[in-house]
Structure formats: structure tokens, C-alpha cells
Homo-oligomer: A and B are copies of this chain.
């Protein structure tokens, strides 16, 4: 199965920055391409095709030497551009002996890899996630591996009406949540969701003893990054702002931030990265741990449902969906992905790059 339905000209989260130790190569897979990440002695992070030009051994079993990486099968040495600079037992190195090198950026605690044309790698396109070191938030983090295609996880995150059903026992949104539609705004590389709930005692993650107006908003950005915040505001705030965006400084409780990223690792597998926690003025480590406990339960519920959905899809010859009113965001986002996927050209040549 081709991964052609995904955007290539985008930054994909390859891992948590704190997972990548100096001089310990890490094998990852993005869009079904084998990639080795390594942090050289200089501290810089590099991303190469994880496949030696010689006999296709994985470079992730290799050894870091300075900022170079040596294949530990027969000893070929690669520089950070993927060029072979040494072949044991041989004086000359063919000038086209190289593996593919990927642009990679260490930002917001994530390692972002650009899967498209390196010449178009624009760091301005990296979504503004909140890193673990952000002084405004106290964040927990983790990741989950899915036996399901990334698109199904994206679809899940693009339709929160599932909170009422999938998460009946964790987030615990009531039936009224699934009955109402959020406000949607298309963005250049994504979509923005907003919900004001007025005169409420709050929800699972942000309860209140007195009635408040509760605000929740998230951007869902290409290739599959969710950035969500929200909080409780004095009753009447929603009307006063004409249901527009409030200033976080005006919140009276419950402000949190979650960054989530869905990375397609192969046609039928994905890795789902996430962080969540309270604003420093609205919680502490204890609140963070409570939120993460809730998230662990809820994300497990999603995984059970989505992996089961994938199995049904896989055994259905020509699977067709029947969109509902809640699928508006799903449809808008998937059309955007389709357009950007086409603009980004076809998938890169997946053959290895050994000289012919």
C-alpha cells in the first residue's frame, strides 16, 4: 500500500527529543520509510535513510563517531548529509555512494522530520506546540503505538462527538455534548474548533463549584497535530465576547494545554504522541498527574475503538463511510490533506539509493 494519501511537504513528529540520547542511534519509521535519528557529539540531531548503500543493513545498528555514523555490518562511514566517506578495504569511495538525508529540527521537545523536498523545508511550518520546558505549563507526556492507519486517528481527533460514547467512562461528556456542533474555522494548514459552554459547572477536566462559561479550542494542523487549550471564565464572558476567543489571563480556572501529534509509521501503523497539563496558575504536579491518569484511560479507549475499526475496514472489500453532521471538520481537513498531498508530488522514490 502506498502512503501517497499523506502530505509529504510537512514536518512529522519523529519522537520526543528527550528520548534521543547522544551517540545512541534510534530507528523510526515515517510514511513507511526507515529513518535513523542520531544526536552527534556536537549535540546536533541528524536524520538519515536507515539503510546502508552496501548491503542494506540498518544504520540504526551502527555506531556514532563524532557527528558521523558507521554501519556496523562492514564498516562504511556516513557523514551527516548521508554521504559515504569511508569504505574499509577500499581506497576510493564512489561519489554517488550516499543515503538520503532528511531535514530535522529539535523544537518544542519534539524531533520534527521533513518528509518532502528538502529544498522546501520551511521551519515556519512547524506547528506551535507547547514544549515540556514551557514555563507557563506543567506537562506530562508519552506516546502510544497504534495498529491502525494515521488517518483514522486524525478522523477521531477531528470529531469530538466521540467523547460522549468512547469516553463515557473517562472524560464523561454527556449526550448534550454530541448533540451540539462546535464552531469551525478553516486555517491555511488546518482547521480551528471552538466551543463555548455557558453557565455550566464545568466538565471532567475543569469542574467548577459555581456556574462558569467554559471555553475550549483546538487547532488541528497538517500533517496531524492537535494543539488544544481551554479554561473557565466568569459567567457572561461568552456573551460579552460575542462567543469569540477569550484572553487566558482572564480565566478563573481550569486552563490546560495539550499538544498531540499523529505520525503514520506504515500504511497500517501509527505513533501517537501527546502531552497535557495545567497552566502554572491553574494547577500543579498533582493536577498534571490527575489529567495524565484521565488521558491514559481515555487514549486507551480510543485505541481499542480505532484498532477494532481498522480490523473491520481491512476485512471489508470496498469500505464506504456515511458522513454525519459531525464530519464537517473531517471532510474539510481530509480535502486539505488531499490537495497538499497532490501539490507535494508523488511519494519519494522508495528504492534505496545505492549507485545503479
Contacts and interface: CB of A to CB of B under 8 A. Distances in A.
B315 A55 contact: no
B317 A74 contact: no
A181 interface: yes
A115 to B, nearest CB: 16
Given A322-B355, A355-B322, A75 B304 contact: no
- This chain: how many copies in the complex? 3
Contacts of A70: 165
Contacts of A34: 312, 315
Contact of A320 (B162, B350, B356): B356
B88 A316 contact: no
Interface stretch (A46-54, A232-240, A244-252): A46-54
Interface in A197-227: none
Interface stretch (A5-13, A89-97, A137-145, A335-343): A89-97
Interface size range of chain A in the complex: 35 or more
Contacts of A18: none
A318 B349 CA distance: 10
A72 B71 CA distance: 49
Interface stretch (A56-64, A127-135, A255-263): A56-64
A352 B320 contact: yes
A31 B354 CA distance: 29
Nearest to A168: B72
B161 A88 contact: yes
Q: Which of A53, A56, A72, A321 has the most chain B CB atoms closer than 10 A to its own CB?
A: A56
A309 interface: yes
5 contacts: A73-B305, A74-B324, A88-B324, A317-B351, A320-B354
